[in-house]
Amino acid sequence: MANWLFKTEPDECSIDDFANAPDTPIVWEGVRNYQARNMLRDQVQKDDLVLIYHSSCKLIGVAGIARVVRPAYADPSQFNTASVYFDAKSSPDAPRWVAVDLVFVEKLPALIPLDKIKSSAKLNGLPLVQKGSRLSVMPVTAAQWQHILQLG
């Protein structure tokens, strides 16, 4: 089992969306970066745990935990012409993008802010805090995972 951090804009999909339907899988769609897509496709597996990270909002940071219940499959949004994630170059025969399904595990008692994560020397190797890292999917080691949760 591996651990991950997935970035999301909370007005699109937040930890509260998971908490409001704890047994209902949510499609993690719309990843349109090839490196992030490759991790989703090749490394993210069923039962992996995911830190849900709220970005591009007022309160930025780790908000909760989800679990992968369905590994990579063709992202349905790439075929939906009404979706902001539509990709005219993708086809059902040769999909370019993948999605995974996640379910709620827990909402953290308090958001763990990015500033607190950045200030911890133990997390210097975390892709989230490295300059220029803008991936929406990134691996988290077991030690990093534990340390992030201890910051909360």
Give the domains, in start order, of the chain with CATH numbers.
Answer: 3-151 (3.10.590.10)
Write down the mean pLDDT value for the chain.
96
CB 53 within 8 A of CB 63: yes
Q: Which helix (H) or strand (E) holds 137?
A: strand 137-140
Pair of tokens at residue 46: 């069923």
| pLDDT tens per residue, range 23-51 | 999 999 999 999 999 999 999 999 999 99
pLDDT of 133 > 90? The answer is: no
Residue 69 burial by Cβ neighbours in a 10 Å radius (0-12, 13-18, 19+): middle
Q: Which residues lie across from 4 on neighbouring strands? A: 50, 139
Q: Per-residue pLDDT for 132 more than 90?
A: no
